[in-house]
A and B are shown apart, each in its own frame.
Chain A
């Protein structure tokens, strides 16, 4: 075989291989989403959304406690994470700029972002659950917030730095204080980007289980008290999937499909906003 044909052959071979790699990746996606739809859709019913937690061996009951718990835990995490994350991102972009301190904080924030989520859970266990003597919903929120802050910080920082300096200078020239410039000019210009970042960070932490295992734990009763152990979809799913009862396993799949669609939905909304915002 001459050199040209050999090169063409190798080229073709590699192209086929990488196409196969892409198909291989897609195969897992379809397999996982397919089982989820197959097992999950069949177990969805109105009872699942409004029913009280089932007793062992019982064939009725639903996930109301876990759905409400999950929503509450994520909501409180978001309420803690948004202000801290946005303010910290603002500091880095507007006050820190390219200084060494700001860059150092950016690096450390990236490190916090990649701390294993279960380690965050053990940390919160040590500082909140152990002193209090019992698991509580709010501890779960705090550990999710810790995972959320660096993500929001990063997107806010990036988005604010994309705002052209001329806009700020024009506002300063009118005599505005720094706070006014940030509040009325910079934030207004970057709001879509910041909102996208927040939505994507909610999608990212919404499906986390590991940080909740030792913090909000689980509760087989409906509760709105955030200082008590609180059920979440993820931990409930973990317990039910491992249980011997058929009906509980079925509920675990129902929880799985509710959670996945919630998380994927938030993710897709975030992407669509980002797409339309930055297409121009």
Chain B
């Protein structure tokens, strides 16, 4: 019967579509379960707190502690955010308020192109061009300025072979710049023109309008955008693998080589020869998964949710 054929096509399509949608949920659940299962051996051997705080990462001795990698991930993420956020907000101000109209689209597109360049290109460029530049030109400048500061000066005093924690953080900050800039710009654009015009009518300068009208109005969106960029920086692999140095230690100075969770995974995963070694690497992956999950959840559900309403 023609009618029943139409019915079955309709029924099947609905079920298949529903199945595909629930597949997304299944993927997320499977990810968490599988990563936990694979790291069970390391969790049982080293515990949770001991693994996070232990500084020893010594594969030949079968001793694995996650502190150096976790430290590298957190520190490089924080530094990259500290560099990227002010620049990104500057770019957003430039694109929404200052740039002459014919320039806005091309400059905006150019900044977004930075986001389209594959991350491994950042890594190669970082290794062959930025690292030598860092070693020969930026290092003396950093020693002479930041290294002289009280309290935090010793963070900037060591010597770098070019690759190191700070180099990786700077490359990372260039990578997340376009995301933060794009989200800030979009939040700024959502401010109703009437509000801005009222402020201009009262004699406010462009900066007064930004500071007292646009930024307070767009605050939640910008913070949400920063948190999403933070999530991106946490999980970025290739850009930092080339320039971090892969030394499983907590460095004394930001200029020295270090490691991070993604760098350790990229370098050692295929070389893990014992079950405990592999399980410890899965443990690191699981920790990274939980960290990025928390960051995204906070950014999405606390800040960006309120913007949508």
Pairs of residues from A and B, 4 with the lowest C-beta to C-beta distance, nearest first: A116-B235, A207-B118, A21-B90, A11-B205
Between A and B, how many residue pairs show CB distances below 8 Å?
A: 262
Task: Answer whether A119 and B127 are a contact pair too, CB < 8 Å, given A22-B95, A126-B282.
Answer: no
A237 within 8 A of B: yes
11 more contacts with CB within 8 A, not counting A108-B25, A178-B13, are: A14-B206, A21-B94, A22-B107, A29-B113, A88-B23, A119-B289, A207-B119, A207-B120, A210-B238, A214-B270, A237-B124
Considering only CB atoms, which chain B residue lies closest to A28 in the complex? B174
Do A96 and B21 touch across chains, with their CB atoms under 8 A apart?
yes
B162 within 8 A of A: no
Would you give the shortest CB distance from A234 to chain B, in whole angstroms?
5
Would you give the shortest CB distance from B64 to chain A, in whole angstroms?
16
A46 within 8 A of B: no
Do A116 and B22 touch across chains, with their CB atoms under 8 A apart?
no
Contact among A22, A112, A177 for B6, CB-based, below 8 A: A177
Considering only CB atoms, which chain A residue lies closest to B209 in the complex? A11
| Docked complex Cα distance between A267 and B113 (Å) | 9
User: Would you give the 0/1 interface string for B66-104, flagging 1 where the beta carbon is closer than 8 Å to chain A?
Assistant: 000000000000000000001111110111001100000
B60 within 8 A of A: no
Do A91 and B21 touch across chains, with their CB atoms under 8 A apart?
yes
B200 within 8 A of A: no
Using a CB-CB cutoff of 8 Å, which residues 104-146 of chain A contact chain B?
A: 105, 107-112, 114-120, 122-123, 125-127, 146
Which size bracket describes the interface of A in this complex?
A: 35 or more
Using a CB-CB cutoff of 8 Å, which residues 261-309 of chain B contact chain A?
A: 262, 265-266, 269-270, 281-282, 285, 288-289, 292-293, 296-297, 300-301
Do B281 and A234 touch across chains, with their CB atoms under 8 A apart?
no
Task: Answer whether A123 and B31 are a contact pair too, CB < 8 Å, given A105-B24, A115-B235, A214-B270.
Answer: yes
Would you give the shortest CB distance from A209 to chain B, in whole angstroms?
5
Do B28 and A238 touch across chains, with their CB atoms under 8 A apart?
no
Would you give the shortest CB distance from A246 to chain B, in whole angstroms?
12
Q: Given the complex, which residues of B lie within 8 Å of A105, measured CB to CB?
A: 21-22, 24-25
Task: Answer whether A109 and B24 are a contact pair too, CB < 8 Å, given A36-B125, A125-B269, A177-B7.
Answer: yes
Using a CB-CB cutoff of 8 Å, which residues 160-198 of chain A contact chain B?
A: 177-180, 182-183
Q: Given the complex, which residues of A lie within 8 Å of B34, measured CB to CB?
A: 123, 126-127
Would you give the shortest CB distance from B19 to chain A, in whole angstroms?
8
Contact among B17, B210, B242 for A90, CB-based, below 8 A: B17
Q: B residues engaging A (CB < 8 A)?
A: 6-7, 9-10, 13-14, 16-25, 27-28, 30-31, 34-35, 37-38, 86-91, 93-95, 98-99, 107, 109-111, 113-114, 116-125, 127-129, 174, 177-178, 181, 205-208, 210, 228, 231-232, 234-238, 241-242, 262, 265-266, 269-270, 281-282, 285, 288-289, 292-293, 296-297, 300-301
Task: Answer whether A122 and B237 are a contact pair too, CB < 8 Å, given A32-B122, A36-B125, A182-B13.
Answer: no
| Docked complex Cα distance between A178 and B17 (Å) | 12
Q: Given the complex, which residues of A lie within 8 Å of B119, measured CB to CB?
A: 207-210
Using a CB-CB cutoff of 8 Å, which residues 19-35 of chain A contact chain B?
A: 19-22, 24-26, 28-29, 31-33, 35
| Docked complex Cα distance between A108 and B25 (Å) | 7
User: Would you give the 0/1 interface string for A232-257, flagging 1 where the beta carbon is closer than 8 Å to chain B?
Assistant: 00100110011000000000110010
- Most chain A CB inside 10 Å of its own CB: which residue of B34, B177, B238, B270: B238
Do B121 and A256 touch across chains, with their CB atoms under 8 A apart?
yes
Do A118 and B281 touch across chains, with their CB atoms under 8 A apart?
no
Task: Answer whether A112 and B27 are a contact pair too, CB < 8 Å, given A95-B17, A178-B14.
Answer: yes
Give 25 pairs: A residue, B residue, CB < 8 Å, sorted on A.
Answer: A15-B98, A17-B90, A19-B94, A19-B98, A21-B88, A21-B90, A22-B95, A24-B90, A26-B111, A87-B17, A91-B14, A96-B21, A105-B21, A108-B24, A119-B285, A119-B289, A122-B38, A123-B31, A126-B37, A127-B34, A177-B6, A177-B7, A179-B10, A207-B118, A237-B120
Do A15 and B21 touch across chains, with their CB atoms under 8 A apart?
no
Do A87 and B90 touch across chains, with their CB atoms under 8 A apart?
no
- Dominant secondary structure at the A interface: helix
Stretch in contact with the other chain, from A53-61, A220-228, A258-266: A258-266
A213 within 8 A of B: yes
| Docked complex Cα distance between A8 and B206 (Å) | 9
- Most chain B CB inside 10 Å of its own CB: which residue of A32, A122, A126, A207: A122
Would you give the shortest CB distance from B266 to chain A, in whole angstroms?
6
| Docked complex Cα distance between A259 and B116 (Å) | 11
Do A10 and B207 touch across chains, with their CB atoms under 8 A apart?
yes
A203 within 8 A of B: yes
Considering only CB atoms, which chain B residue lies closest to A145 in the complex? B27
Q: Given the complex, which residues of B lie within 8 Å of A74, measured CB to CB?
A: none
